Amino acid sequence: MGFQALFLGGIKSGKSKKAELYTLESATTKPIYLATTEFIDSEIQKRIEQHKKQRTKKFITIEEPLDIANAITNQNTAVLVECVSMWINNMLHYGKTLDDILCQLEMIAKQDNDVICVINDVSQSVISENKLVRKFVDINGIVSQYIAKEAKEVFHITAGIGVKIK
């Protein structure tokens, strides 16, 4: 158990929809949708509303921007973590370190339930001049590699088309 699947892709690639369908098809009971995005501005609010409509009432929603390991602990059903990249963003915003992030991932890897993760693929861009952006991209890449190594399945999504890469 632990990390069941990772859905990796660019922004608006269709990865969330693919991950939601995968979670619903593989769960034996009503799954949990662990939403990590905080309300930052009106654009983010619109994206959150779109995701709420997309998942309908098929999920139990838990909103947790930081302590996702604790939110997953002792859940007796599959958990979809949407979105790991936003969680990383939150962790960095609140002064957390890579070690803090990896500690939570290690706790999740030991869980008895299936955990499905969505993460943005930000690795195919130029190196930013902005130090914080570089830090985020590096940590997002490290986290992607960690989850991909631990997960039973990994899917790369482009233009709504999923390709199983593991």
Domain spans of the chain? 9-164
CATH number of 9-164, picked from 1.25.40.420, 3.30.565.10, 3.40.640.10, 3.40.50.300: 3.40.50.300
| SS3 of residue 161 by DSSP | strand
Question: For position 160, what pLDDT does the model report?
Answer: 94
| Pairwise CA distance, residues 84 & 154, whole Å | 14
Q: Using 50 as the pLDDT threshold, list the residues of the chain that sit under it.
A: none
Question: For position 49, what pLDDT does the model report?
Answer: 66
Question: For position 41, what pLDDT does the model report?
Answer: 63
Question: For position 133, what pLDDT does the model report?
Answer: 86
Mode of pairing for the β-strands spanning 79-82 and 153-158: unpaired
CA distances for 151 relative to 12, 30, 104, 166, angstroms: 23, 21, 15, 9
Question: For position 57, what pLDDT does the model report?
Answer: 81
| Pairwise CA distance, residues 8 & 102, whole Å | 18
pTM: 0.90
Residue 153 φ then ψ, to 5°? -135, 145
Paired tokens of 130: 């902005």
Of residues 65, 132, 146, the one with CA closest to residue 99: 146
Q: What is the DSSP letter of 5?
A: E
Question: For position 85, what pLDDT does the model report?
Answer: 96
